[in-house]
Structure 1
């Protein structure tokens, strides 16, 4: 596959090398490559909050002759059915290529998210989690398994924790929410109508709502606090991959924050849970006879 067909991959790989203004252009393109192919240079510059000369400099950084050529190469990058599995994969990739690309894309997404997360917002999110009377983790679709993983993590902190992926149950729980309840709503796009309505309903009843979602999305605006996660894959088109891994990593960060906030006196409780599992496993150095 020639370089023209790999423009999107080039942009992802060079994100950290771009200056602040050029990075804004790159992120707008990566958020919606299809839309970028139909934008004028003025429209793209406005969407990124930069000048038109900055867009032209971005083109030259990628060794592209100009904006019309950039749009052409973007369109060529989107050709092929494999794009609907992952933006990083091309239709004629061999196993060694798509293994490297999927892992590379995931690593790049994690690094990008790490740099954009606001430590002050993380600290406020940990406040909400440690002060909550009970916590509900909500997710739909690919985010449902993330919500369930959060339940497994956070019950260890001696909190009343539950995960729900059924829209009707989510709505009923939000309708009977109280002050002291925390609803953690996980949504990559933040545009799922049912989850936005649940967030509004819960807050209307006095509960706090923490969102793990896209900045300035309807869900982010409906939450008490939102941890804004970058949109690096279009899940309207592509199968969710890196987005799910980012959500899991952010929940690990929050779990670590709660652990540290509880302090050393809480460690015996965590150790007791771990020790309860000892009898369910074969010792690591034992040979197990075949049956």
Structure 2
């Protein structure tokens, strides 16, 4: 692991595994990232003592996270921590000035974009674009903030003549899923990947024969495990912002790129429909004041 993108992916891949760790295992990982002087020289016994666990436990955790052992984990994390994008993340504080708030929020979003780009499954991205371009029906499921992301991309698709149904009610999702078939696509939006209403609808859509896509922040989540294609964002959380704020920016960018890829597959039709939809709303604009 030595390319820039490989190193950028270290933090995101560990964060995506966190929900699958026990509280004790997660505490050990938090200890690692909380050590400002963690480096290739950090001894296994010193980390184990700092975390209050055995050396064997530390090694077990590193393997659970997908590394060959402690040395592999130590090399990857220490190099990741030295990346400019990793250093961007700074915790927000109630005492921050307006300048500090703006800088920290922007840097958190930039980090989320850089790291999401590093882990994005491009083969899955291409397959998702192909499915959405050819689908008979496209039904999107999400609740809360995830529903707003679904509505944003549905709006973009409508501009090029591609119709999408967005459902944020659990009953409507299930009814939708039951009516889909092999030519259709269901997309589930859930930051955690554990939203039961979305999971139930995606399961039913899949049972009905539809292809399924998950948009989530956790590749090992319940939603990701049942979807045909998974497009993951990644973002570091903070006490004041949480994870959702920066992850939303990353997901919107994934979906903007997906919109362009779908439009590209039938560019003449997309261009023609964009002209129509833009013309239709021109009368509602007031570009010049009287």
Distance 1:239 1:23 in 2: 17
Matching of residue 49 in structure 1 with residue 66 in structure 2:
yes
In structure 1, stretches of 5+ residues that fail to align are 1-15, 64-85
* TM-score, structure 1 as length reference: 0.74
Equivalent in 148, 152, 157 of residue 149 of structure 1: 152
Q: 2:113: which partner in 1?
A: 110
Partner of 1:187: 190
Out of 267, 275, 287, the residue aligned to residue 271 of structure 2 is 267
* Residue from 100, 103, 117 that aligns with 2:103: 100
Q: Over aligned residue pairs, what C-alpha RMSD do you find?
A: 3.2
Contact kept in structure 2, 1:181 and 1:208, CA below 8 Å: yes
Q: Secondary structure at the match of 2:164?
A: strand
Contact map agreement 1:138 1:164 (CA 8 A) in 2: yes
Q: 1:35 to 1:184 in 2, by over 3 A?
A: farther
Q: Is the 8 A contact 2:12 2:234 kept in 1?
A: no
Within 1, Cα distance between the matches of 2:285 and 2:243?
Answer: 35
Contact 1:41 1:55 in 2 (8 A): no
How many pairs does the alignment contain? 249
**Structure 1 residue aligned with 2:284:** 280
Instruction: Give 1:31 deviation, angstroms.
Output: 6.6
Match of 2:93 in 1: 90
CA deviations over 1:20-71 (Å, ceiling 9, x no partner): 57963675268757562357532442233332134445676699xxxxxxxx
Secondary structure class of the residue paired with 1:250:
helix
**Are the aligned partners of 1:191 and 1:218 in contact in 2 as well (CA < 8 Å)?**
yes
**TM score, norm. by length of structure 2:** 0.74
Matched residues in 2 for 1:139 and 1:203: separation?
Answer: 16
Distance of aligned partners of 1:138 and 1:26 in 2 relative to their CA distance in 1, 3 Å threshold:
closer
Task: Give 1:106 deviation, angstroms.
Answer: 0.2
2:209 corresponds to: 206
